């Protein structure tokens, strides 16, 4: 028999079930491809530069991400590279730091097929917490809230504000 739990997973060698995400989180791109964001997010969070990441792209041509840096790690990296650390907001806007995060995304994109690869990203200048509203009490992403709160940034990522 089968359990209808709403989880998505696969059978590992040796017969163990590995849960990789929730069915309700899966979205479809405008090209008809399905993406499981949790699988991608969990892989990218292995990076010491990334605290939190949310994959977006429902009804768009490609997957993108909102990236919350691990600010303590970023401060330490800046110190090693002799980059004066002013503020989180100024740091995420700095081209050299954006380039470093692009390298990090490129490294992790290699684990995914073309459809699942994060093609564009924007960095967020503050941590996501329960208090700021982006996370639930169990520290899961509040996707609808994040989509609404960061609508302007998301529109920029997908070039939705051009007047074509």
Return mean pLDDT, the chain.
89
The answer as to whether 162 is a domain residue is no
CB atoms within 10 A of CB 10: 9
Q: Using CA of residue 51, residue 18, residue 23, residue 34, what is the dihedral sign?
A: positive
Position 140 scores a pLDDT of 93
Domain that holds residue 140: 24-157
* Residue 5 pLDDT level (bands cut at 50, 70, 90): low
**What's the CATH code of the domain at 115?**
3.30.300.30
The answer as to whether 12 is a domain residue is no
The answer as to whether 10 is a domain residue is no
The answer as to whether 100 is a domain residue is yes
The answer as to whether 9 is a domain residue is no
64 phi and psi angles, rounded to 5 deg: -140, -175
Does 19 or 108 have the greater pLDDT score?
Answer: 108
Position 72 scores a pLDDT of 98
Beta-bridge partners for 28: 34
pTM: 0.82
**Number of folded domains that form the chain:** 1
Position 42 scores a pLDDT of 93
Helices 37-44, 95-109: axis angle to 10 degrees equals: 120
| H or E stretch at 96 | helix 95-109
Convert the pLDDT of each residue in 29-73 to its tens digit.
888 888 989 989 999 999 999 999 999 999 999 999 999 999 999
The answer as to whether 118 is a domain residue is yes
Tokens of 83: 């980059």
Give me the half-sphere count of Cα atoms (radius 13 Å) on the Cβ side of residue 49.
19
* Residue 90 pLDDT level (bands cut at 50, 70, 90): very high
Distance between CA atoms of residues 64 and 66, nearest Å: 7
Whether 38 and 127 have beta carbons less than 8 Å apart is answered as no
Residue 23 reports pLDDT greater than 60: no
The answer as to whether 18 is a domain residue is no
Convert the pLDDT of each residue in 125-161 to its tens digit.
999 999 999 999 999 999 999 999 999 999 999 987 5
Tokens of 107: 């490294």
The answer as to whether 69 is a domain residue is yes
């Amino acid at each position: 028999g089968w359990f209808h739990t709403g989880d998505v997973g696969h059978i590992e060698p040796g017969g163990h079930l590995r849960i990789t995400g929730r069915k309700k989180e899966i979205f479809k791109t405008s090209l008809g491809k399905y993406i499981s964001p949790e699988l991608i997010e969990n892989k990218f969070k292995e990076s010491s530069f990334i605290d939190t990441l949310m994959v977006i792209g429902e009804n768009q041509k490609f997957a993108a991400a909102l990236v919350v840096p691990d600010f303590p790690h970023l401060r330490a990296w800046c110190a090693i590279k002799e980059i004066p650390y002013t503020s989180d907001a100024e740091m995420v806007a700095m081209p050299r730091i954006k380039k470093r995060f692009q390298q990090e995304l490129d490294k992790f994109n290699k684990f995914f097929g073309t459809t699942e690869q994060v093609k564009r990203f924007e960095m967020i200048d503050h941590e996501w917490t329960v208090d700021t509203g982006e996370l639930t009490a169990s520290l899961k992403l509040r996707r609808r809230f994040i989509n609404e709160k960061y609508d302007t940034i998301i529109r920029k990522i997908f070039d939705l504000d051009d007047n074509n």
